[in-house]
Structure 1
Amino acid sequence: MSSNGQSEQSLYGGAMTVILPPQAIDVSQIRDVPDNQEVFTHNVTDQSIIFDILEYIEEPDHQAIQSHFQEVAEYNKASDNDVTKIISIEEISKDELLLTECTKAYYVLGQQKVAKFNETAKNLMNLHLGLFRLPQFSTDILITSNDPVIISPESSSHNAIPTSADRWTVMDIKRVITSLKLLDTGLFE
């Protein structure tokens, strides 16, 4: 672990590594996680970071971003009537990445209104996405960070998070994205 609390974490049985922000807890220690995912949650806030190995979407990059964003919205049960929007898309220079096998990488900021635990109360979430395009492996890697912005008074999370909690910052999430590293391409076989 480094002095700033960040630590290198092995993913997918050691096939990848990433630098996680402080207070990240491996959700697989608490519940089952699908084989194509690695999930971490903040130990105090409702923030989370999800790594997904997905089938490559045979579309231009911006359409693939839209498709993945929509899939996240569907997974989060964010309906068309709710806030579901992409705010910005930034291409990440390969010079900034440790995952050099990707052809392109993007940081995407979006928002969705999401209910926790199938509650009716919806919370406004900032979604920070990192999308890595790896057509040579027929794979897209998606990192999704859920960051609650406005918690509904009816939500089970309302008042549950101390105001003194050290939240993960955009800088922390971007560090996760840029630090993802592939050690074994056999992961994609």
Structure 2
Amino acid sequence: MAKNKFISTPLFGGGIVADLPENFADVSKLRQVPDNQEVYIDKDGFSSIIFEICERVGPSGSSPEIDGTALSTHLEELVGDDKDTVRVWNSTETEFSELPKSTPTYSVLATQTPRSETKAAAPSANNASDFTAIILTLVRLEKESTDILITINVPHIKGEYDEDAIDLELGKQGKLIGDAVEYASRIWSTFQVKNWSLFNEV
């Protein structure tokens, strides 16, 4: 099976670099993207990867409880009013190879299922996804008062994926989520801050 190819990609004017899949395109070349975000979309599918520099949430210091609450807060902000349609499958501490060893980093795999009335309102099934898988990674930079969010969104649209290949209860992720996990782990191993003063500017 062909492995995904990656390319070292400058983000935020080169202040950060990370390897991204070769077949993902920079959305800012197509439309306006907020200054604190970098958005990439799959040219051959529906997945997207978003890097976002946010203000740090929660109290100072770091512990699984403080950071876990921050992760939940960001996930809730991400899904907005739909938080009751979200299910978290796992949440783990993550290791970023190129960041200082003491940097707290966490990731979560969640799925969001559209409400049935939302689906009914959009019968043009080409955009109504059965569910969207979300891999959200949180990098906590306390000294910089910054949280970096890396979100990989993976919509599963009827007819575009093998439904039998997915059973998250049993740990069966299917190809799309499998690819997203590979994207995430490649980002974790290559994400590097080249310009720390970036966090004063955003």
Q: Taking structure 1 as the reference length, what is the TM-score of the superposition? A: 0.79
Match of 1:14 in 2: 14
2:7–2:22 Cα contact (<8 Å) kept: yes
Match of 1:25 in 2: 25
The one-letter code matched in structure 2 to 1:7 is I
Deviations along 1:100-159, one digit per CA (max 9) or x if unpaired, are 27620012101112579x94745401100111010100000000000123x25xxxxxx5
Name the larger-Rg structure: 2
Match of 2:55 in 1: 55
Partner Cα separation in structure 2 for residue 49 and residue 185 of structure 1? 22
Match of 2:183 in 1: 172
**Gap runs ≥5 in structure 2:** 60-65, 163-174
Q: Give SS of 2:82's match.
A: coil
2:139–2:149 Cα contact (<8 Å) kept: yes
**Gap runs ≥5 in structure 1:** 153-158
Partner Cα separation in structure 1 for residue 54 and residue 131 of structure 2? 26
1:36-75 paired onto structure 2 within 5 Å: 36-59=36-59, 60-74=66-80
| RMSD of equivalent CA atoms | 2.6
> 1:64, CA displacement in angstroms?
0.5
Match of 2:87 among 85, 88, 91: 85
Q: Give SS of 1:184's match.
A: coil
The one-letter code matched in structure 2 to 1:87 is W
Deviations along 1:9-30, one digit per CA (max 9) or x if unpaired, are 0000110001001301000011
Q: Taking structure 2 as the reference length, what is the TM-score of the superposition? A: 0.75
Partner Cα separation in structure 2 for residue 46 and residue 39 of structure 1? 13
2:135–2:180 Cα contact (<8 Å) kept: no
Match of 1:128 in 2: 135
Partner Cα separation in structure 2 for residue 54 and residue 101 of structure 1? 21
Residue 97 in 1 paired to residue 97 in 2? yes
The one-letter code matched in structure 2 to 1:67 is T
Partner Cα separation in structure 2 for residue 175 and residue 182 of structure 1? 15
Partner Cα separation in structure 1 for residue 104 and residue 83 of structure 2? 29
Return the structure number with greater helix share.
2
Distance 1:44 1:91, change over 3 A: same
> 1:79, CA displacement in angstroms?
5.2
Residue 184 in 1 paired to residue 195 in 2? yes
Identity of aligned residues (%): 32
